[in-house]
């Protein structure tokens, strides 16, 4: 990405806003995006203890007509026909071989299926929908903000009455300080919080309004990555790609119960066999002895020195103050506690398979006081 000429990059609606606030801009997913403001560790810790404001407007927001549910079900393994209104679901866009083209959030709304896809894959995703004859609107004029952390909902609820009544994975349309916004209680940090879809023309004003609250700081992509890694959440293009199946990725939950019986989605033949019999490899989390991070691309070895997989995300956990990561290993080595050896630039590291999340989720679920 570093070699992409600046002129080929798009700017986010909040580009100037980020620069004014000291955001260090880097190329990411075809956009100039803020990697950090104050520093990744400070921003990470602020989000875990207060509220962090993320600009995720690079992600694609699409709207598919409700009567296209059957056509969408040929691409996604979710139960779209039985979806309840305003309940976002995690789903996967699959290819015919069962590989993951993208991971996404889909919500049935009164105006259609609202789909949020990754920024780096949105063009390809739209081509897949077109090829499948599924019509959609690309909501290019919508910005997307995420407010994450234990104080996030208190902050947003002060400007959007009713948001506090949402539970994790519920959404709705709200008046946010005079702007109509689609707000879901969700995110990708492991914290309580919301994602806010709003007109790009209002993004500056709303971002300023949220930032005026002393509990809120702007947070860059760097901390977003360390937060989602601690939360055990895979990142497309790193932990997931077209060679990865939902079963390998430990995302079988995205294959709905009815669809496991009925099939009928891209790649079902392979995926249903893997659900039944297991996959050859599996996504795992690991912790590393010592303090040196082991990064994406490092080889994972068994006790005899044979390569059994690769690291797909690796970094330093600010919460645990230790190196952590994700990767794929032969399924026989995927049990928590299994010893692994990692090889990075010729140096060997001792690691152990660790249950994820590394840091407990703090989602706001109904009936729980947490």
Partner 1 sequence: MSLYFTKDHEWIRVEGDTATVGITDHAQGQLGDIVFAEAPEAGKTLDKGGEAAVVESVKAASDVYAPASGEVVEANPAIADDPSVINTDPEGEGWFFKLRLADPSELDGLMDEAAYRAWVETL
Q: Closest CB to partner 1 among 80 and 223?
A: 223
Sketch the per residue contact string, 25 through 64, with partner 1: x for CB under 8 A, - otherwise: ----------xx--xxxx----------------------
Asked if 57 and 12 count as a contact pair (C-beta separation under 8 A), the reply is yes
Q: How many chain residues are in contact with partner 1, going by CB under 8 A?
A: 18
Does 195 count as an annotated binding residue? yes
Sketch the per residue contact string, 314 through 333, with partner 1: x for CB under 8 A, - otherwise: -xx-x----x----------
Peptide bond into 357 cis (omega under 30): yes
Asked if 78 and 265 count as a contact pair (C-beta separation under 8 A), the reply is no
User: Counting Cβ atoms within 10 Å, is residue 74 exposed (0-12), middle (13-18) or buried (19+)?
Assistant: middle
Q: Cα separation of 93 and 131, whole Å?
A: 13
* From 96-104, 115-123, 187-195, 285-293, span contacting partner 1 (CB under 8 A): 285-293
Q: What are phi and psi of 96, to 5 degrees?
A: -65, -25
Residue selected from 222, 234, 285, 325 as contacting partner 1 according to rule CB under 8 A: 222
Q: Which of 195, 205, 181 is nearest to 13 (CA)?
A: 205
Buried b (16+ CB within 10 A) or exposed e, 288-310: beeeebbbbebbbbbeeeeebbe
Query: Interface with partner 1 includes 237 (CB under 8 A)?
Result: no
Q: Shortest gap between Cβ of 4 and partner 1 (angstroms)?
A: 17
Q: Which of 30, 31, 29, 48 is nearest to 40 (CA)?
A: 48
Q: Please list the residues that pair with 299 across neighbouring strands.
A: 310, 343
* From 118-126, 171-179, 220-228, 355-363, span contacting partner 1 (CB under 8 A): 220-228
Residue selected from 49, 201, 292, 370 as contacting partner 1 according to rule CB under 8 A: 292
Which 338-367 positions form the footprint of partner 1 (CB under 8 A)? 345
Q: Closest CB to partner 1 among 143 and 342?
A: 342
The helix (H) or strand (E) run that includes residue 183 is strand 179-184
Query: Interface with partner 1 includes 23 (CB under 8 A)?
Result: no
* From 145-153, 193-201, 258-266, 288-296, span contacting partner 1 (CB under 8 A): 288-296
Q: Closest CB to partner 1 among 213 and 225?
A: 225
Q: Closest CB to partner 1 among 76 and 229?
A: 229
Q: Closest CB to partner 1 among 136 and 316?
A: 316
Work out whether strand 10-11 and strand 31-36 pair parallel, antiparallel, or are unpaired. parallel
Query: DSSP letters along 253-318, please?
Result: GGS-HHHHHH--STTHHHHHHHHHH--SEEEEEEEESSS----TT-EEE-TTS-EEEEEEEEEEET
Q: Closest CB to partner 1 among 243 and 292?
A: 292
Which 90-109 positions form the footprint of partner 1 (CB under 8 A)? none
* From 6-14, 183-191, 221-229, 251-259, span contacting partner 1 (CB under 8 A): 221-229
Residue selected from 226, 245, 312, 354 as contacting partner 1 according to rule CB under 8 A: 226
* From 5-13, 105-113, 194-202, 292-300, span contacting partner 1 (CB under 8 A): 292-300
Q: Closest CB to partner 1 among 84 and 291?
A: 291
Tokens representing 250 are 């430990």
352 vs 323, 339, 361, CA distance in Å?
11, 5, 21
Q: Cα separation of 326 and 233, whole Å?
A: 9
Query: Interface with partner 1 includes 313 (CB under 8 A)?
Result: no
Buried b (16+ CB within 10 A) or exposed e, 123-147: eebbebbeeeebebeebeebbbbbb
Q: Which residues contribute to the site for partner 1 (CB under 8 A)? A: 35-36, 39-42, 222, 225-226, 291-293, 295, 315-316, 318, 323, 345
Residues belonging to the binding site for substrate are 195
């Amino acid at each position: 990405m570093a070699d992409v000429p600046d002129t080929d990059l798009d700017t986010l609606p909040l580009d100037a806003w980020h620069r004014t606030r000291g955001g260090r801009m880097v190329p990411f997913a075809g956009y100039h995006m803020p990697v950090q403001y104050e520093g990744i560790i400070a921003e990470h810790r602020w989000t875990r203890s207060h509220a962090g404001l993320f600009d995720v407007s690079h992600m694609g927001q699409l709207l598919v007509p409700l009567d296209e549910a059957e056509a969408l079900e040929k691409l996604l393994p979710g139960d779209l026909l039985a979806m309840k209104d305003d309940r976002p679901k995690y789903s996967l866009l699959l290819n015919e071989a069962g590989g993951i083209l993208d991971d996404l959030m889909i919500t049935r709304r009164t105006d259609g299926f609202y789909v949020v896809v990754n920024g780096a894959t949105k063009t390809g995703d739209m081509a897949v929908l077109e090829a499948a004859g599924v019509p959609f609107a690309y909501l290019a004029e919508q910005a997307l903000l995420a407010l994450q952390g234990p104080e996030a909902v208190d902050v947003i609820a002060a400007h959007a009455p009713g948001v506090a009544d949402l539970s994790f994975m519920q959404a709705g349309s709200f008046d946010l300080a005079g702007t109509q916004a689609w707000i879901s209680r969700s995110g990708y940090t492991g914290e309580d919080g919301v994602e806010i879809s709003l007109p790009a023309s209002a993004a500056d004003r709303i971002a300023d309004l949220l930032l005026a609250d002393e509990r809120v700081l702007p947070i860059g992509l760097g901390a977003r990555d360390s937060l989602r890694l601690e939360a055990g959440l895979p990142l497309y293009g790193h932990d997931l790609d077209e060679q990865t199946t939902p079963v390998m990725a430990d995302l079988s939950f995205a294959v709905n119960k009815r669809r496991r019986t009925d099939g009928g989605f891209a790649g079902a033949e392979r995926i249903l066999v893997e659900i039944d019999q297991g996959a050859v490899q599996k996504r795992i989390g690991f912790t590393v002895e010592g303090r040196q991070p082991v990064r994406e691309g490092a080889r994972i070895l068994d006790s005899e020195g044979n390569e059994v997989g690769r690291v797909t995300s690796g970094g330093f956990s600010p919460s645990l103050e230790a190196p952590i990561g994700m990767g794929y290993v032969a399924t026989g080595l995927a049990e928590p506690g299994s010893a692994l050896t990692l090889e990075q630039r010729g140096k060997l590291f001792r690691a152990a398979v660790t249950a994820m999340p590394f840091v407990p989720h703090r989602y706001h679920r109904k009936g729980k006081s947490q």
